Structure 1
Amino acid sequence: MLRTIRSRLALSFTLLIAGLLVVMLALTGWLAYRMLSDLRPRIQNAFEETQTLNEKNVLLNSAGYLGERLFPPLFSLNISGINREIEQIRGWLPIQSFVVADSERRILTDGSKRNPRYGQIVAIPSELLPQQPILQSRPDGSELYFTIGNGGQIAGYAAVRISGVALQTSLTMLDQEVTKLWTSYARSLMLGVGLASLLVALVTSLLIWRLARLASEPISEMIAAAEGIALGNLDIALPVRSDDEVGHLALALNTMTQELKVSQRRMRHLANYDTLTGLPNRHLFQDRLRHATQAADRNGTRLGLLFLDLDGFKSVNDSLGHGLGDEVLKLAARRLRETVRSSDTVARLGGDEFTVIAEGVKDPEDVEALAIKLLAALELPYRVQEHDLTLSASIGITLYPEDARSPEDLLRNADDAMYQAKREGKNAYRLFGPELGTSIAQRLSLEQMLREAITQHEFELHYQPQLDAANGDLIAVETLLRWRNPQELIQPSDFIPLLEDMGLITRLTEWIFGESCNRLTKWRADGLTGLRLAVNLSARQLAQPNLLTTLEEILQATQLPPDALEIEISEQTLLHAEQNKKTLDLDRLHRLGVRLAIDDFGSGDSSLAHLHRFAVDTLKIDQSLISEIATDRNSANLTAAAIALSRQLGTQTVAKGVERMEQWHTMRAQGCDLVQGYLISTPLQADSFLSWAHDHVATGHEPERFGQSREPANASSSNDQK
């Protein structure tokens, strides 16, 4: 027991100082624990919000790009193309599932080969609009819904489930780092307690204050940085003051920020630039066109918009493959960039379509000069993979502000002018004008009328006879499509090419065959035994996958022998069938027994090899050779050579467009088998043709009886569209 005051005071002061020290250390430790306990969820929440917000922004910004990228294969129902796009997307997004549906929300593909959910209805949010994707959070990730379309045209939908594993992994790593930090701090605190017991209260207090400051300052900086990242500020760089856990955590946050910046730049580039050519895509083009029109308004200048489409590019893809086609597109894009000024914008809208924004234009002649340069550059040979290819381009030009005020109208005008250049022969440019807008409006009106005509069954078939050139016997009849329009008489040359361009001609194929074969069956039963039927088909109709099956079913239903039916195709269609083996299996057609005729022979690039390779039965000599055969020696020599060649190959010949008696005499003298034209008869309705045929049989077959009185008033109309 201490008896002296000094001892008791010493003991009291010692206990007091020790007590104060313990209380201060305990209070400091408790405050530090509370602070770190509060900081951990704040750091985790800030980090999670940052990751979630950036991921959401990236996904929403990517949806429009993905929708436009998936549009071409979805629009053409190219499932394999869609699957390839999905596989590429999986390379840079953590995707759990990717489902593409059509406009009816039926699943087309989920990116797999088995595609087990094909045809199922996918639950797409009803409020989904073009260019307005929807992102929904889930416990295990998130779901992104967006439309697949081009502008306002929606071809389908996509539902993407994004995995949340990356976010959870990052949060786990962050929690581990914070835990390591707390463990290290606890050790330092215990060491401080041991040392502080040996020092005076002042030194201990200063040491604790210093330690608290050293521990809290870097963490406060990290919290401020995390909150800044959550607000979208990625230009934050934390100072790394040490090589301990706090320094490692600051370094990790700096690395994460840099990776987010790189990812953001990459996604921004993918959203604005074409991955194949490196040119601005449709999204960036529309933005630059908007800025260019605004700049033209401020400066009082003009701008020209050029819309380019490569002529014949589809045949390159079909015959040589898409890989070589991509190389051609790269070369074309490079030539466009090298031809225009540095201030002009070259963009790729998709496929083989490009646009050029020419700013600061003084006169329309400036834009025309640029178009001439572009045509010359694109016309140069393309050396790709040991292939020398020659392509051209069609260009449509519109001017701002004369032709339109809005970017959408400017693009539509340039597109219309480009198609006009294609219709006028390609490898040319065309300026948009009021008359072009009028013709386009008329075309749109005619397109609507054609759709209604198919629904209202306004089409009918006419028939034109083919006679034996030697004795005038009725051998065959050709089926010709006519439009019974109640408002006006529309010529076949006006509506049949439009049916082809719109793809509507394929909806009439089965009806044409069924109607004409039924007629032939009745005519044969009514005494016209042995009569043969010729039907014209286009490249689109020949490409129908069920064509041969349809022919077999119709022949079986009508009990017609296959050789009673003859299919007429043009030389260009035959060439396309040779280049693209998927267009039509002509060998199967020949094995079926149906005859094959080449129409308009001599009007294009005639290839003698086609006649042998495809087992052609009939050669129809074009009217351009027949019209001057009696007066032009070259025409007569050409027809004579064609007839002699066909005889060597065992092929029958038909003189098409015979309008005068001397033409018939000349063709008969040269050995032509059949003749057809207005001299014999105009195309007739079914009942009128039957009456004509009976009258023809009853009055005799001599060619001389037709005479000049049967010659048409307008001989040029005898070359009917089929």
Structure 2
Amino acid sequence: MSADEASMPAFRRLSTKYAVAIAAVLLLGMALVLALAGYFVYRGTNELRDELAASFSEIQGQYDQRTLRASSTYLSRRLFNPLYHLDMTALNAEIARINAWLEPRSVLILDEQGRVVTDGTLANAGHGRIESVPERLSEQPSLIEETENGDRLYFRIAHGDEAIGYGRIDFSDARERALLKGVHAQIEAAWERFEDWFLSIGAIGLIVALLVSLAIGWRLSVSLSRPLREMSDAAEQFASGNLSHQLPTQAEDELGRLAASLNRMAADLQKAGRVLHRAQEIAAFGSWEWRPGRETLQLSHGVYLILGLDSGTEPYRIDDLVQAAIPQDRDQLAQVLQGAFETTVSFELRIQRRDGALRIVRIKGESECEENGRLVASFGTIQDITEQQQAQVQLMRLANFDTLTGLPNRNLFYDRLRHAVQKTRRNGGQVALFFLDLDRFKEINDALGHDVGDALLRTAAQRLSDMVRDCDTLARMGGDEFTLMIEGVSATLSPSAVACKLIDALSAPFELAGQELFVSASVGIALFPQDADDLETLIKHADIAMYAAKEKGEGSFHFFTSALQRAASERLVLEHQLRAALDQGELRLHFQPQVRVEDAVPVGIEALLRWGDGESSVSPGRFVPVLESSGLITRVTQPVLREAGAALAASRARGFADLRVSVNLSARQLRQPELIGQIESTLAEFDLRPEQLEIEITESTLLDNEQCQSNAVQLAALGVRLAIDDFGTGYSSLTYLKRFDVDALKVDRSFVKDMLDDQDDALIVHAVVGLASGLGIESVAEGVELAAQRAQLRKQGCDLIQGYLIARPMPLPELLDWLDA
């Protein structure tokens, strides 16, 4: 055997050994390469997973923050007027719009103390509940807080710097959390599968080495790395605001479904953006943003509408928007757009649209800076408030001025009076307050119509305005009442002289409706600080003085005195006592006979209201006016009718079947809708003939309103007699005597009393009796106390008389005895 042949096995063994070693080294090298590749792929993929989840969370948070900021200013302006006027219907309507636009979890409108005004529901269960409002909200218009269930937006409801309440909107993050949770779940599921694949690939790689490793690497690159890179690119696009970017979704695996979810999220964000743009368009509201290094502004669709531009217009630069403002506002606008302010700023300016129209806009801006102070971005909102300001001016006009006369109304007058009182407290001096009430205006208004009445008020207001100084305040308080405030009262400017001028200004006739009308004024005067030490008391005292002037007679004025105050206090006490008396049935009727003037035969009895007996009795002259003015008189109507009917029934039982009873009714009573029914029930209850009941009213009562006239017509149709009491003392309209089938005229006792000594009174009595005779109706003279008066009345042809000469008013038992006598 040769040496060469002997060396062959060793060589083979050597070759095998080296081959195994080389194979082992190669295998280990490939395993190391595979392990290193797998490590870097594993680490990079894990980082991409975390970055992707964080990126989507940041995108969602930033978008929500900007959306809420842009909405708060708009909502504040929308809610200001309804909250200012406490218009619950308008507030609930606005909350309904907020729910439709932003789909919040809840909406609360709070007043400036943090109490719930409304939650938008009809039940409004939380009304009045106090909700906490962050203190930081006093330093900024809106605030966003994170809660367990989402974000909570607080914003001030204000006009300028004056806040009248707050809004609180809770946004549920359930949907976003569910979406992000789904994203995280799919990423985690993909990651778990990737880990399973990676271990499997590692195990197989150790067995099948290079080819399997290359195949797995290629598979990972195709199926995982590229989709993740695409998702990362999509996240950057979404963060930059490009929500139209779409991820490819060809694959049906987890990554494909994840891409589809991301596309749906982008579509939802786009939809929310369109809703916001629509809301901005409706409210003439838009937003802007600028970042250093950019030449153009990022504008919402609403800004283009405000500027009168097509949304397809080329991008707007800062200079372009600045030039749209009027010259004096341009520098401030440029500073706001470029973020030159450290705090949030807001101001109003005028801009000229592309079509040349001038508009008033409110621009709000704030800046975002890094910790070192470097500006990152400036952004804010622009709102067209032209119509709002015009409406505000109109509302202020309506709130402070009378629409009929153009004078200040009660609200503005009290405000000026309050300032005058405060000024007088500081500087000394006097303030004179005048209350004016037009005499007989109601009669003219009812007789000639409201159009003539309104024209009279306008003319009277103009006359009064012409005689007061520019520094004085003349106002219409409502109806035919006016007030005048004069500061700096002195000897040269006495309240008495002013009152005379006010009365004289109205003394000339008013040429209205083709005729001359005469109106006077009753003026009450109160002085500060002599008559009162506060505003409310001053007003009350002037009102008391005005009613005192009315009692003096038309065209009079009266200063407030302590005696008037005592009288007013006594009247309040009397009213309180009257209410108790009515509840306890203490008011009773006395009856005074009416007899024929020729033979003194009783024809009727007049029912007269009385309160108390003997020394404890209260004069009708005191309590009847209180019944009238307080409205308590309507509570007396039914009891008086029934007691009068009972009196007739009792007299009929004594043989006086044809006797009639007269019942006095005031204007308040005559216009009661239920009056006719009460009279019919009384006639039926006591089996009385309609002509046995006579209703006495004053001549001005028929002028009161249509209900009075309607009831008068129905009484005549029913057969009930109608008598005019105190004839000749009021604002007469003789046509009413025939129009309403009047049955009797009663001559007022003031004329009868002096008819023997006063020729004028005698002529008046003669005229009234003659008028009644000429119209074919009865005449009744009241207050006959002397036989000479009776003789004179008989001579003049008067039909009936009543008075102390015949009998005093008496209770029913005494009346029955008198009839039997």
Instruction: Trace 1:126-145 onto structure 2 (pairs within 5 A).
Output: 135-138=117-120
1:50 to 69, 73, 85: 73
1:481 Cα deviation (Å)?
Answer: 0.6
Q: Does 1:170 align with 2:266?
A: no
For the pair 1:343 / 2:471, whether they are aligned, the reply is: yes
Which residue of structure 2 lines up, in the alignment, with residue 157 of structure 1?
Answer: none
Name the residue aligned to 2:804: 678
Distance 2:526 2:413 in 1: 16
Q: Who wins on radius of gyration, i.e. which is larger?
A: 2
CA contact (8 A) 1:566 1:597 kept: yes
User: Which secondary structure state, in structure 2, belongs to the residue aligned with residue 318 of structure 1?
Assistant: helix
Checking the alignment, whether the CA contact within 8 Å between 2:645 and 2:682 is kept in structure 1 is yes
Q: Secondary structure at the match of 2:813?
A: helix
- Post-superposition Cα deviations, 1:109-167, rounded to whole Å, max 9, x if no partner, equal xxxxxxxxxxxxxxxx9x999x9997435399x99999xxxxxxxxxxxxxxxxxxx99
CA distance in 2, matches of 1:670, 1:346: 52
Distance 1:386 1:633, change over 3 A: closer
Count of matched residue positions in the alignment of Structure 1 and Structure 2 = 558
Q: Which residue pairs with 2:537 in the alignment? A: 409
Could you give the per-residue CA deviations for residues 328-356 of structure 1, whole angstroms, max 9, x where no partner exists? Answer: 33333333332211211223333332222
Alignment partner of 2:348: what SS?
Answer: coil
SS of the aligned residue for 1:679 comes to coil
2:580 is matched with which residue: 452, 460, 479?
Answer: 452
Flag the 1:619–1:416 CA change in 2: closer, same or farther, 3 A: closer
Q: Which sits farther off after the overlay, 546-555 or 298-307?
A: 298-307
Task: Spell out, residue by residue over 1:5-42, the C-alpha distance to the aligned partner (whole angstroms, 9 max, x if none).
Answer: xxxxxxxxxxxxxxxxxxxxxxxxxxxx9999988655
Aligned to 2:9: none
The within-5 A match list for 1:74-113 is: none
Of 596, 614, 636, the match for 1:468: 596
What secondary structure sits across from 2:681 in the alignment?
helix
- Measured against aligned partners, the alpha-carbon deviations of 1:164-204 in whole angstroms (never above 9, x if no partner) come to xx99843366999779999xx99999xxxxxxxxxxxxxxx
- Read off the aligned partner of 2:677 and give its amino acid letter: T
Deviations for 1:44-68, whole angstroms, at most 9, x for unmatched residues? Answer: 43332112222333233334xx89x
Q: Distance in 1 between matches of 2:493 and 2:384?
A: 54
* Cα gap change, 1:513 to 1:62, in 2 (>3 Å): same
Q: Within 5 Å, which residues of 2 pair with 1:172-251?
A: 221=336, 233-236=346-349
Aligned counterparts of 2:509 and 2:79: Cα–Cα separation in 1: 46
Cα deviation, 1:70-122, whole Å, max 9, x if unaligned, reads xxxxxxxxxxxxxxxxxxxx9xx79959xxxxxxxxxxxxxxxxxxxxxxxxx
Find the counterpart in structure 1 of residue 695 from structure 2. Answer: 567
> Partners of 2:442 and 2:342 in 1: how far apart?
53
Matching of residues 649-668 of structure 1 within 5 Å = 649-668=775-794
Percentage of identical aligned residues: 37
The structural deviation recorded for 1:382 is 3.4
SS at match of 1:527: coil
TM-score (norm 1): 0.66
Deviation for aligned residue 1:492: 1.2
SS at match of 1:361: coil
Question: Is the contact between residue 92 and residue 121 of structure 2 (CA under 8 Å) also seen in structure 1?
Answer: no
Q: For residues 483-519 of structure 1, what are the alpha-carbon distances to aligned partners after superposition, in whole Å with 9 as ceiling and x for unaligned? A: 1179833211121122112221111011111111012
Residues 399 and 410 of structure 1 are in contact (CA less than 8 Å); yes or no, is this contact kept in structure 2? yes
* Mapped pair 1:308 → 2:436: yes
Paired with 2:411 and 2:526, the residues of 1 have a C-alpha distance of: 20
2:672 matches 1:690: no
2:118 alignment partner AA: Q
What amino acid is the match of 2:506?
A: L
> Cα offset for 1:440?
1.5
Shift of 1:277: 3.1
Q: Which residue of 1 aligns with 2:480?
A: 352
Distance 2:342 2:435 in 1: 47
Alignment of 1:222-371 (within 5 A): 233-236=346-349, 256-363=384-491, 366-371=494-499
Deviates more, 1:383-392 or 1:283-292: 383-392
- Aligned amino acid, residue 409 of structure 1: T
Q: What code does the residue aligned with 1:517 have?
A: G
Query: Matches of 2:818 and 2:643 in 1, distance apart?
Result: 19
The change in CA–CA distance for 1:631 and 1:661 in structure 2 (over 3 A counts) is same
CA contact (8 A) 1:60 1:134 kept: no
Pairwise CA RMSD of aligned residues? 4.8
1:430 equivalenced with 2:558 (yes/no) = yes
Structure possessing the higher relative contact order (Cα contacts under 8 Å, 6 or more residues apart):
1
- Deviation, structure 1 residue 608: 5.1
CA shift digits 1:417-460 (9 cap, x unpaired): 11211222132221112222122212222222222221121110
Q: Whole-Å Cα distance in 2 between the matches of residues 128 and 174 of structure 1?
A: 24
Residues 145 and 493 of structure 1: CA distance in aligned 2, closer, same or farther (over 3 Å): farther
For 2:740 and 2:281, the matched residues in 1 are separated by: 69
Give the Å deviation of 1:641: 5.3
- The DSSP-based 3-state class of the residue aligned with 2:506 is helix
Aligned residue for 1:138, secondary structure, equals: coil
Q: 1:545 aligns with which of 673, 681, 691?
A: 673
Query: What is the one-letter code of the residue matched to 1:325?
Result: G
Distance 2:781 2:393 in 1: 67
Q: Is the 8 A contact 2:510 2:518 kept in 1?
A: yes
The answer (yes or no) to whether the contact 1:621–1:656 under 8 Å persists in 2 is yes
Q: Does the CA contact (< 8 Å) of 1:319 and 1:580 recur in 2?
A: no
Distance 1:552 1:521 in 2: 15
Distance apart, 1:631 and its partner CA: 6.1
Distance verdict in 2 for CA 1:314–1:167, change over 3 Å: farther
- Name the amino acid aligned to 2:280: L
Structure 1 residues 530 and 180: alpha-carbon distance in aligned structure 2, compared to 1, 3 A threshold: same
Cα contact 1:625–1:639 (8 A) shared by 2: yes
Instruction: Using the TM superposition, give the Cα deviation of residue 224 of structure 1 relative to its aligned residue in structure 2, in angstroms.
Output: 6.6
Q: How many Å apart are 1:682 and its aligned residue? A: 0.7
Q: Is the 8 A contact 2:431 2:488 kept in 1?
A: yes
Q: CA deviation at 1:294?
A: 2.3
Using the alignment, how far apart are the partners of 1:531 and 1:667 within structure 2?
Answer: 22
The one-letter code matched in structure 1 to 2:655 is: G
In 2: Cα distance, 1:188 partner to 1:493 partner: 83
Q: Distance in 1 between matches of 2:579 and 2:699?
A: 29
> How has the CA–CA distance of structure 1 residues 673 and 213 changed in structure 2, closer, same or farther, with 3 Å as cutoff?
closer
Residue pair 1:56, 1:135 contacting (<8 A) in 2 also: no
SS of structure 2 residue aligned to 1:615: coil
Mean Cα displacement is larger for which, 353-362 or 679-688? 353-362
Name the CA shift for 1:144/1:169 in 2 (closer, same or farther; >3 Å): farther
Contact preservation (8 Å) 2:280, 2:286: no
What CA distance in whole angstroms lies between the structure 2 residues aligned with 1:629 and 1:213?
95
Unaligned runs of 5+ in 1: 1-32, 68-89, 98-124, 147-165, 190-209, 696-722
User: Any conservation in 2 of the 1:47–1:171 contact (CA below 8 Å)?
Assistant: no
> 2:287·2:381 contact (CA, 8 Å) conserved in 1?
no
Once the two structures are superposed, residues 643-677 of structure 1 have per-residue CA deviations (whole angstroms, 9 ceiling, x without a partner) of: 45534433223332222223333433444332221
CA contact (8 A) 1:177 1:249 kept: no
Q: 2:506 aligns with which of 335, 357, 378?
A: 378
* CA separation of 1:276 and 1:128: change in aligned 2, threshold 3 A: farther
